[in-house]
Chain A
Amino acid sequence: MIEVKNLHKSFGPNHVLRGVDLSVSKGESVTVIGGSGSGKSVLIKHIIGILRPDEGDVFIDGTNIARLGEKELYSVRRKFGMLFQAAALFDSLSVWENVGFALLRARTYSEPEVREIASEKLNLVGLVGIEDLMPSELSGGMKKRVGLARAIAHSPEILLYDEPTTGLDPIMADAINDLIVRMREKLNVTSVTITHDMQSAYKISDRIAMLYEGKIIETGTPDEIKRTEHPIVRQFITGSAVGPIKIKGLSE
Chain B
Amino acid sequence: MFSGLVESIGKTLIDFTAETGKVFRLLYDALRLALHPPIDLRNTFKQMLEVGVLSVPVVVITAIFTGMVLALQTYTGFKRFGAESLVGSVVALSMTREMGPVLTGLIVAGRAGAAMAAELGTMRVTEQIDALETLATNPVKYLVVPRFIAGLIMLPALTVMADIIGIIGGYLITVGHFGASSAEYWRRTWDFLENDDIYNGLIKAGFFGGAIALVCCYKGFYTKGGAEGVGKGTTGAVVISFMTILIADYFLSAWLFE
Contacts and interface: CB of A to CB of B under 8 A. Distances in A.
Interface in A166-195: none
B128 A75 contact: no
A237 interface: no
Nearest to B128: A88
Interface in B121-143: 123, 126-128, 130-131, 133-138
A84 B130 contact: yes
A82 B136 contact: no
B166 to A, nearest CB: 35
Contacts of A77: 133-136
Given A86-B126, A88-B126, A88-B127, A101 B134 contact: no
A80 B126 CA distance: 20
Nearest to B29: A70
Interface residues of B, number: 12
Contacts of A82: 131, 134
A70 B36 CA distance: 14
Contacts of A81: 134
B45 to A, nearest CB: 14
Interface residues of A, number: 27
A195 B135 CA distance: 22
A102 B137 contact: yes
Interface string A91-132: 100000000011001100000000000000000000000000
A179 to B, nearest CB: 18
Interface in A11-51: 45, 48-50
Nearest to A156: B134
A12 B84 CA distance: 64
A75 B130 contact: no
B236 to A, nearest CB: 20
Interface in A41-83: 45, 48-50, 70, 74-75, 77-78, 80-82
B128 A90 contact: yes
B51 to A, nearest CB: 16
A185 to B, nearest CB: 23
A190 B134 CA distance: 16
Interface in B101-126: 123, 126
A219 interface: no
Contacts of B130: 45, 50, 84, 88
B127 A84 contact: yes
B228 to A, nearest CB: 17
Interface in A118-163: 150-151, 154, 160
Contact of B135 (A45, A91, A105): A105
A221 interface: no
A86 B127 contact: yes
B34 to A, nearest CB: 15
Nearest to A105: B137
Contacts of A88: 126-128, 130-131
A13 to B, nearest CB: 14
Contacts of B127: 84-86, 88
Contacts of B136: 74-75, 77-78, 102, 105-106
A100 to B, nearest CB: 10
A115 B130 CA distance: 23
Interface string B133-155: 11111100000000000000000
Contacts of B133: 48-50, 77
A86 B128 CA distance: 10
Nearest to A153: B135
A216 B135 CA distance: 28
B134 A80 contact: yes
Contacts of A86: 126-127
A102 B136 CA distance: 7
Most chain A CB inside 10 Å of its own CB: which residue of B123, B130, B131, B137: B131
Given A48-B133, A82-B131, 5 more contacts: A49-B133, A78-B136, A88-B126, A105-B135, A150-B135
13 contacts: A45-B130, A48-B133, A50-B130, A50-B133, A75-B136, A81-B134, A82-B134, A86-B126, A88-B128, A88-B130, A102-B135, A105-B137, A151-B134
Interface of B: 123, 126-128, 130-131, 133-138
Q: Which 10 A-B pairs have the closest CB atoms?
A: A88-B127, A88-B131, A82-B134, A102-B135, A77-B136, A84-B127, A74-B136, A88-B128, A50-B133, A78-B136
